[in-house]
Amino acid sequence: MKKVIKNGTVVTATDTYEADILVENGVISQIGHNLSTEGVETVDANGCYVFPGGIDPHTHLEMPFGGTVTKDDFETGTMAAAFGGTTTIIDFCLSNKGEPLKDAIQTWHQKSKGKAVIDYGFHLSIGEVTDAVLNELPSVIEKEGITSFKVFMAYKNVLQADDETLYKTLVAAKDLGALVMVHAENGDVIDFLVKKALSEGKTEPIYHALTRPQEIEGEATERAATFAGLANSQLYVVHVSCADAVQAITKAREKGYEVWGETCPQYLVLDQSYLEKPDFEGAKYVWSPPLREKWNQDVLWNALRTGQLHTFGSDQCSFDFKGQKELGLGDFSKIPNGGPMIEERLTVLFSEGVKKGRITLNQFVNLTSTRVAKLFGLYPKKGTIAVGVDADLVIFDPNIERTISAETHHMAVDYSAFEGMTFIGEPVSVLSRGEFVIRNKEFVGKQGAGQFIKRAKYGETYKM
């Protein structure tokens, strides 16, 4: 039925104002003052912000990785996302070298269909660029609506692609209208440093960080950006963790290259010292790129504030501590990389960013939703509050203080990277296309209600 959201403060990437929002048939049909409540369900947002639903550009749900599979799937992962104020995710579909891309896409549809509680799209990883792959790419974009490709410069002998592949992907993406995403770390150098450390008996989780120094994230970022400039193409650097990578992006942009950067909650709040926790607990904090020395956090905040970084993704990639992270007991290189982040993405950026005066409220919306929608072909269907767009809305209480714990989070994973930490701000109710998914902090959504979204080409708007 029709709903009117009353008394809230509407926040977009550009404006903050008091207004009522009328929702009809899944879209926003009116924004104004004193909208009639007759025959309409009234939702009181007094004292709350109303944000466009969060869009998470970076998730790995039910993904095989490091000899195991991520714990959260499209059901638990999207439920947790919704609790956290996210109404759309873009998940990474992994292709296998030598296999048709359409098989990989089919596999990802099977994982998600009938499970997701919010809308979703896919990025597609490219491991090699053969004639067969080049022949398939146009239909991946036009028919499948997958308009972003991911190339890994790390994870040697597993996911890593070579420079030729990256360059060819950039060239193809320019021709076809896609955005190329990179995991930027020099996998060859890492492989050498890891083997050397293990041969010296250095097996603890902290050596994960020490064998992936920030110089080689900076180097890979600069290399990818150089290729993007040379190919006159477009590049999006995922999970930027450190000063060296921020500098590489800034330098490329100063030359006029089209290079975008994403960072994630873990890099803003946690640091390298967490990997030194005793009893193997450091394994909970193993990400690639790794958590950095704390001083890098100021550089990342500055980059978010000044526009050198552009989006905020979760890099949700959860593994249980028991049984999964423990695969790396006695050998840090066998610890599955990644952590649970999908649920806390908005709260962390709001609490640490907006509340602490590091970014504005409108920048918060831009980083968590609007800019993501624009870069990934979802705008304006998703990513803003305006008449005619999807009623994906978050009613957010900006004053509530809460302590994070695995006991109370909604992800399936057995630990929280933020256990015991306190943040300010929490989604109270969340709507996806006009229907409540979260209502007064209770899940009221439906498994399978989420729709797959075929996205517009890079640089184009979504045709409604």
Nearer to Zn ion, 345 or 358 (CB): 345
| Tally of CB atoms within 10 A around 271 | 19
Tally the residues of the chain.
Answer: 464
Nearest approach, Cβ of residue 239 and ligand URP (Å): 6
- Which partner from the list Zn ion, ligand URP, none does 236 bind, CB cut-off 5 to 8 Å by kind? none
Pick the stretch among 30-38, 139-147, 310-318, 386-394 that binds Zn ion (CB under 5 A): 310-318
> C-alpha angle 355/360/363, rounded to 5°?
125
Q: Name residues contacting ligand URP, limited to 36-65 (CB under 6 A).
A: 60
Pick the stretch among 71-79, 175-183, 351-359, 363-371 that binds Zn ion (CB under 5 A): 175-183
Site string for ligand URP, 228-257 (x = CB under 6 A): -----------x------------------
Pick the stretch among 28-36, 219-227, 315-323, 390-398 that binds Zn ion (CB under 5 A): 315-323
Q: Are 314 and 342 in contact (CB under 8 A)?
A: yes
The yes or no reply on residue 315 touching Zn ion (CB under 5 A) is yes
User: What is the Cα–Cα distance from 316 to 113, expressed in whole angstroms?
Assistant: 19
Coil, helix or strand for 148? strand
Nearer to ligand URP, 7 or 107 (CB): 107
Nearer to ligand URP, 83 or 319 (CB): 319
Coil, helix or strand for 353? helix
Nearest approach, Cβ of residue 445 and Zn ion (Å): 12
User: What is the Cα–Cα distance from 234 to 224, expressed in whole angstroms?
Assistant: 10
Q: Name residues contacting ligand URP, limited to 145-184 (CB under 6 A).
A: 183
Nearer to ligand URP, 226 or 337 (CB): 337
- Which partner from the list Zn ion, ligand URP, none does 287 bind, CB cut-off 5 to 8 Å by kind? ligand URP
Token code pair at residue 54: 């969060």
Nearer to ligand URP, 289 or 425 (CB): 289
- Angle formed by the axes of helices 214-230 and 163-176, nearest 10°: 40
Q: Which one of residues 56, 315, 352, 390 is an interface residue with ligand URP (CB under 6 A)?
A: 315
The yes or no reply on residue 25 touching Zn ion (CB under 5 A) is no
Nearest approach, Cβ of residue 337 and ligand URP (Å): 3
User: What is the Cα–Cα distance from 291 to 270, expressed in whole angstroms?
Assistant: 7
Q: Name residues contacting ligand URP, limited to 332-391 (CB under 6 A).
A: 337-338
> C-alpha angle 317/321/323, rounded to 5°?
105
Residue-wise DSSP of 190-256: HHHHHHHHHHTT--STHHHHHTS-HHHHHHHHHHHHHHHHHTT-EEEE-S--SHHHHHHHHHHHHTT
User: What is the Cα–Cα distance from 179 to 318, expressed in whole angstroms?
Assistant: 26
- Which partner from the list Zn ion, ligand URP, none does 1 bind, CB cut-off 5 to 8 Å by kind? Zn ion
How many residues make contact with ligand URP (CB under 6 A)? 9
Nearer to Zn ion, 1 or 464 (CB): 1
Token code pair at residue 106: 């089919």
Q: Which of 307, 306, 454 is nearest to 382 (CA)?
A: 454
H/E element, 165? helix 163-176
Q: Which one of residues 111, 183, 212, 223 is an interface residue with Zn ion (CB under 5 A)?
A: 183
- Which partner from the list ligand URP, Zn ion, none does 87 bind, CB cut-off 5 to 8 Å by kind? none
Nearer to ligand URP, 73 or 315 (CB): 315
| CA gyration radius, the chain | 21
Nearer to ligand URP, 10 or 209 (CB): 209
| Tally of CB atoms within 10 A around 303 | 21
Nearest approach, Cβ of residue 162 and ligand URP (Å): 17
User: What is the Cα–Cα distance from 309 to 420, expressed in whole angstroms?
Assistant: 29
Nearer to Zn ion, 183 or 310 (CB): 183
Q: Which one of residues 9, 288, 296, 333 is an interface residue with ligand URP (CB under 6 A)?
A: 288
Nearer to ligand URP, 91 or 315 (CB): 315
Q: How far is CA 397 from CA 14, 133, 354, 369, 429, in A?
A: 20, 47, 13, 18, 9
User: What is the Cα–Cα distance from 354 to 178, expressed in whole angstroms?
Assistant: 32
Nearest approach, Cβ of residue 344 and Zn ion (Å): 16
Tell me which residues touch ligand URP (CB under 6 A): 60, 183, 239, 287-288, 315, 317, 337-338
Tell me which residues touch Zn ion (CB under 5 A): 1, 183, 315
